[in-house]
A and B are shown apart, each in its own frame.
Chain A
Amino acid sequence: MAALSRSTPNESPTSQADFRKLKTVCVPLLGASRLTQASITSTSKLLQELIDVLKHIPSENLTPNLISYVFLPASTILQRNPSTGIPDQVLEKILNVFGLLAESWWWTCDIKIWEQLFMVCGSVIGGIEAKSNGKGKARDDETKQAAMKCLSTLLRPRTSEEALTRFLVPAEAEDRLLELQEHTRNTRFIPIIGQTLDSVMSSASSQYLALQSASLEVTHFLIELYLPDQLIPSVLPGTVSTMTKLCLGMTRGGGWTNGEIVSRAFKVIQVVVVKALGNEVCIEHGIIRRVRDLDDLINDVNGSSQNTSSEDTNPYGTQRTESWLRGTATQVHIAMNSLTPLLSHPTPIALQTLCTFSTILIRSTSLTLPQTQPLLLSFLLSLSLSDYPSVSVLATESLAALLTIPSDEQVPLQNILMTNLGDNLSSLPRLLSTQSDARVAHAAGLINATCQLASYEDPSNKISVIAKGIANLLGPSGGIEKWGWSLLSVMEFVEPSVIITQTSGAQLSLETNPNTPLWIAFPELVFKNISSLETRDSLKRMFHSLGKAAGDSCLFAVDWFISLGCEGSSSTSVAALWCACRLLEGIAGISLFTDRAATISTKRINKRLEKHARALAKTISEIWDRLDPSLTSVDGDTLRAQDDDTMLLVQHQKGLVPLQDTLKITQASTSSSKRFKRISQPVIHRALCLQVIAVTSGIAQNRFISSFIYTLYPILHSVVSTVSFLSTTALATLNFITVSTSYASPANLLLSNFDYVLDSISRRLTRRWLDIDASKVLGVMVRLVGADIVDKAGDVVEECFDRLDEYHGYGVIVDGLIEVLAEVVKVIEMEAEVTAGNNPKSKEKRGIGPQRTSLDDFFAFLPRRFDDPIEGGTTDYGPAPRKAWGPGKPSENHDEDDPDDNRMKVETAHNNELPPTPIQALTMQIISRSINFLTHNSPVIRARILNLLASSVPVLPESALLPSIHPAWPFIINRLGDPETFVVSAAAGLIEALSKNVGDFMFRKVWDDVWPKFRLMLRELEGGEKSSALMRSNKGGIGPESAYTHSHRLYRSLLRTMTFSLKGVHEHEPSYWEVLVSFRRFLAGHVHEELQQCAADLYIQAAEINPDAVWLALVSTSSLTNPIMSFMMKPEWQIGRNTDIVFENMK
């Protein structure tokens, strides 16, 4: 009061101004205090004005006098009118005015007035004033809310700062509160406060959010501050159940409750539980005892019945006893348990409150609610994984604080945490087998959270107890054999949908794009028991964080998994590999499934781990040294598995689950694991092996390079796999390794380490151990690396041939090996193109052919043609001077007995020529050894060999090539009569290449052997086309429509061969004319463009030799120039356009 009187003079000017403002409203309001239908509006308006004025006056400026002045008219309205006569809006405004007044009146008002206001508000909220007049009409929510606000202002404790702004001593706030509390705790007031609490809580379930919120606040104040201690146990059940319902949204029937409401409700529960059965209260009442030292134990015995005679009991109160505690604790536990769904509440504020709620309850009810502690802890753990950083940080910090700050709870909590971890781990198999995704995710999440806690940065380092615990769990004494088996037995992967492709997509992308590596993701595996992605991810995260928390100590677990994984390719092994892989990722802090930036671990990798990783990589790589998994896994595992006849069916059932079956699951887990062994999953097994290799590379990083010697081959072996899942995994692995070992691109990596790959390949092409895929790998490597590898691969090629000789009967093997050889030759070709400059294979010897017939002779002869007739008439050009191909001749005498010797001989024979490069030597070897396969019974191989020869022709010097071709010539020629068109076309291709490159050598061969065959073929084909219905539809009846038919290719080869023959080989007069005549039809307009083009080229080439003959042939085909030539007439071919082209190009 002294303070108040002191403040009045100072504030008088403003008070006066405020008074004047209030006066203008209060005077008419007092006048209109009697409400009639007519005055309601004006009164309401006045009240509104009053509210506005009051709102503009800072609450500390409201002196008691002013308050009384304002209170009078407002209260008069209530007094003068019956409750029914006051409409809701007027009452609402009056209550608002009271609320505004109470803000400052709280400090000074008479306790009676406070009580009156409290009761007015309480009655409005509870609808008592409405009931009292019999009408039963409850006030609307807005009015109730105004009452609630007013009540809240009345109940709200003030801070000492607020006291200071009112120039009061800071302790005044507390003193006043105590005064009020004292008043409310007298027996007369207790029913009122109980009644109010009840009505406040019932209005908390209102649909009106503001009212809900305000009523929860008031509930909180009431319970925390005003309710007598004995009463709290009585209100506990009701409060908790109301709040739980409210939080869960049961009152509204579905959907999440508003976050703020949840938050406030949690605060209420927290307060009521702590106040009802907190440690302190219960110790005070003697129902529990805290045992801190031995003395406590002694006291325990002595004073067990000390506190039973409690003080005077309140009529409404509930006595706290041990049995009460037991019963209540169970009830509370059930209520808490029902709150679990709120962990996934979408608003952070609710979660934050849940977090504080759990923390505080753990702290204050550790002794009274022991069975609830794990639950609360699991709340905190789950929350620490929340997506909201505000929540997760808060939860983690609370957990850390709980576990590190020494207190009663610290040690038990740590124990609980570890038990929790163990329980969750061992419950995973059961949950997995019942396909309860959500529960799996929850359990995994809890484990995850515990592990993350272990790696929490903590200055005092006390939390390392947990890390040690986890390390222990995964270490040698952790009993991984117990939980590991059952976990593996239920983890099963779905076999990826197998797409068999001829060449793997991975292989193609590796080759076509050697310089720009894209980030290639590992294809994901799908669990059989888990349907959702989130659950799978949570399992993955669980292993990651287990690995991270345990660190090096879990290498034991990794080893255990790996050793299982290496046993076979059963589904158990597959699961074991998966676990090992994830654990390793965790230890190293890397993940295969994040994108590129995150792959390189920044964590310091210790030497032990690194060494271990490399050893693992080696062990895993050795799996590829075994025989084909699809073959081996059949006998061992299956036979063993068939022995046990206890068939246990783990199945997913919907609806009612027969109890005895579910119980059996745990009983017979060992036999169930055996059952799963039967399923062999070689593809997934291999893919997971690759993943392990990738992870180890991520661990060892740059030092992984020394492991390339073992690991590259397995990866490449899988890259060429025809199963796309495997090849993609392999490519991703290669990519990952490239990144972790800091190579620029996978191609770069392979380039730098091709020697290791070559080494592995060559070992797998031996007689003892022939791996068909090795040849594919070699093919890829040859394509990628090019000349470098070919230089060194001579012996591998030799091996290929040795195997070819041995296994020539097996098409697959031959095919694979020949493919490699073709690749080698391709590389050689490219190499030859590069070095073409210094290899002058130009045709200086052009003039050496047989003399071209000159018409001069003819013209000289013409006048004298009747003088002396020449017998015969045909000129025999047959025995052409052998000099022409003389230089090639000596080499032909060598028969190719040994490639090495051959090379030496060639070297000595042609001292003027450069000695063959290793590449050339290799090609020679390829040619000489592959010629035998020209008569292989598989047409594909025959064609391939011919193509191989054709592509090697441009590469080799004549001296090296011709000795091989010469003895093989009859075989090549015979291929032209092959029943398979593509072989014929390949043979023609070879002849084309030969004509182009070694024309001199080919002269006799072309005109004596090839052309007659060609002529025959042309005729046959022509005849065939005439009889073919498909071809006949085409008017001219010439040439197929599609460029993708063998006959098209054959025609093209024929045309090209003859073009090159005309160009490179000297013409042979009689045949020359035949050629001109035979190929005319390809100039026809209907023929495929490409063939027309080829034919035109042929005629242009022919025109260089004898333009007159070409002119004659073409002109007489299209138009009748001379009756003698009429047999040539084929106007329907319409070769006019092409004729023009040919003539244009004639010189």
Chain B
Amino acid sequence: MTDAPPAPTPLHLLRSHSAPISTLALSPDNERIYSADATGLVVVTNTRTLRALAAWNAHTDSILGIEEWHTFVITHGRDNKLHVWRRIEELPAAARIGGSAALPSLPVPALCYSMDVNALNFCRFGLLPLSPPNDGEAEAAPTALFALPNLVDSSTADVWTLPARTRLHAAIGQDDKAPRAAANPGARNTTGIIMALHLFQRPGGALRLLTAYEDGSVALREYTRGDAPSVEGAGWAALWAVRLHGESVMAMRVARAGDFALTVSADHIVGRYNLADDAPADGQHGVIMRTKHAGNGAVALRDDGRVCAVGGWDGRARLYSTKTLKPLGTLKYHKTACQCLEFARQAPGASAPEEGSGRAEVDEDDDEEMSAAEVEERTRWLVTGSKDSRVAIWSLLSFDK
């Protein structure tokens, strides 16, 4: 930290919200920032003009998660709803009329479908798109799986399909509840409710679910049966469970490469979990890494998995190297808790299949508004959202050696 240049001020500040920001997301092509606040308002901000493309009240309560999926936007709110919206399509720069700070009416995206979900435990959905954008063009509609806490029991998880909205697996994690309950009678579930989950696929194709719990533990499960659907957690074998935190896990993030995960909690520990090896020796599933600052509410990983950002309740975002947890810098702007943060994509991909085909030819000259340097600079953005209802955009160093 001593060698590093002084911490920057935010590159830009977005003032679209008047309530604490609850979650953030960036589109895969880095063109849009999705920010959602505690009142259920979602604002889509163009990263070029830094102006809202759309702002609408998606939910009636705080929003837990938002994610762009092909031409859709999935929002998950505390009002026990999960909505899938059709993404707002921007006009090309040439067709746009001069922008304005205060547009009279912003478009509201069309609601495609919604479903009732369990939002008791603040845990956002975990999305696993099944048709990657590269070869998904031929298919009519993209499909995806997503995991959510169980409708009845918040300590177990369900896996649903999109757009069919059918439950594929139910109550994952129920089977290993029994012995624990026996060992500790009286408690309904020792692990507590699920705090974060991540659904992903092994290279072999097996589904895996990583869940973080209220008691500070993290468990990895794999679906061993070939068929679907399953109920009561049948066929989901627990690979390992490890408890690194003394407090409940506040946030978990899995590296884009899928080789490790990080968790943060109210304590000063950052948990690092090895997902690369199928069967590592006992005690090597997770490593405790200590930081100097307790009380972290959010964590984000850069695409290459080398840098992570941890959002603290003191409003600061701290950057660490993921391998050694060496501090890389502190971003100080927010006055109250930094509740969510997100890195821009380092290799911005196509956001939707229909654009994917054209993307190859779209090189510097055709990009009317941004030069290659600016696009490159945008990949080094970090977006933080805080309880003080502001979204800050930071431009980071590449931290390359």
Contact = CB atoms under 8 A, between A and B. Distances in A.
19 contacts: A607-B368, A702-B98, A705-B98, A706-B99, A706-B369, A709-B49, A709-B50, A743-B98, A752-B98, A752-B100, A752-B101, A752-B102, A755-B15, A758-B15, A768-B9, A788-B102, A792-B15, A795-B388, A795-B390
Contacts of A751: 101
B371 A768 contact: no
Contacts of B7: 768
Contacts of A766: 9, 333
Contacts of B390: 795
Interface in B1-32: 6-7, 9-13, 15, 18
A759 B100 contact: no
Contact of B98 (A611, A709, A742, A758): A742
A189 to B, nearest CB: 78
Contacts of A752: 98-102
Contacts of A709: 49-50
B17 to A, nearest CB: 10
A762 B101 contact: no
Contacts of B165: none
B293 interface: no
Contacts of B290: none
Contacts of A755: 15, 50-51, 101
Interface string A605-620: 0011001000100000
A722 interface: no
A703 interface: yes
Contacts of B51: 755
A763 interface: yes
Interface in A575-616: 607-608, 611, 615
Nearest to B11: A763
Contacts of B388: 795
Interface residues of A, number: 30
Which 5 pairs from chain A and chain B are nearest by CB? Answer: A752-B100, A755-B101, A792-B15, A766-B9, A754-B101
Contacts of B93: 703, 706
A615 B50 contact: no
Interface in A694-750: 702-703, 705-706, 709, 741-743
B172 to A, nearest CB: 40
Given A607-B365, A709-B50, A741 B9 contact: no
A705 B93 CA distance: 11
A756 interface: yes
Given A611-B371, A768-B6, A759 B102 contact: no
A753 interface: yes
Nearest to B100: A752
A549 to B, nearest CB: 25
Interface string B304-337: 0000000000000000000000000000010100
Contacts of A743: 98
B256 interface: no
Nearest to B336: A900
A1070 interface: no
A918 interface: yes
Contacts of A756: 50, 101
A807 interface: no
B48 interface: yes
Interface in B68-117: 93, 98-102
Nearest to A792: B15
A167 interface: no
A769 interface: yes
B9 A769 contact: yes
A703 B369 CA distance: 8
A763 B335 CA distance: 15
A1116 to B, nearest CB: 62
Question: B11, B12, B98, B369 — which one has the most chain A CB atoms within 10 A of its CB?
Answer: B98
Given A607-B368, A766-B333, 14 more contacts: A607-B365, A703-B93, A703-B369, A706-B93, A742-B98, A743-B98, A751-B101, A752-B98, A752-B100, A755-B101, A768-B7, A788-B102, A795-B390, A918-B18
Contacts of A788: 101-102
Interface in A112-170: none
A218 B107 CA distance: 87
Contacts of B371: 611, 615
Given A702-B98, A768-B6, A795-B390, A762 B13 contact: yes
Interface residues of B, number: 27
A476 B334 CA distance: 48
B98 A759 contact: no
Contacts of A763: 9-13
Most buried by B among A741, A756, A769: A756
A743 B98 CA distance: 9
Interface string B357-395: 000000001001101000000000000000010100000
A752 B101 CA distance: 5
B21 to A, nearest CB: 13
A704 to B, nearest CB: 10
B99 A759 contact: no
Nearest to B7: A768
A709 B99 CA distance: 11
A753 B101 contact: yes
Given A769-B9, A795-B390, A918-B18, A759 B50 contact: yes
Interface in A159-192: none
Interface in B37-55: 48-51
Contacts of A611: 368, 371
A703 B368 contact: yes
Contacts of B335: 798
Interface string B336-369: 0000000000000000000000000000010011
Contacts of A768: 6-7, 9
Contacts of B15: 755, 758, 792, 795
Contacts of B9: 763, 766, 768-769
A605 B11 CA distance: 31
Contacts of B6: 768
B152 to A, nearest CB: 34
Interface in A781-796: 788, 792, 795
A741 B98 contact: yes
B50 A753 contact: no
A755 B14 CA distance: 9
The residue among B100, B101, B390 with the most chain A CB atoms within 10 A of its own CB is B101
A706 B13 contact: no
Contacts of A918: 18
A756 B99 CA distance: 11
Contact of A795 (B13, B49, B365): B13
A702 B99 CA distance: 10
Nearest to B388: A795
A176 B368 CA distance: 76
A752 B100 CA distance: 4
A63 B101 CA distance: 94
Interface in A761-806: 762-763, 766, 768-769, 788, 792, 795, 798
A843 to B, nearest CB: 33
Contacts of B99: 705-706, 752-753
Contacts of B333: 766
B168 to A, nearest CB: 43
Interface in A987-1035: none
A788 B100 CA distance: 12
A365 B335 CA distance: 84
Nearest to B387: A900
A708 to B, nearest CB: 8
Contacts of A753: 99-101
Contacts of A706: 48-49, 93, 99, 369
A611 B93 CA distance: 13
Interface in A346-394: none
| Residue with the greatest number of chain B CB neighbours at <10 A, chosen from A705, A741, A788, A918 | A705
A798 B13 CA distance: 14
B287 to A, nearest CB: 35
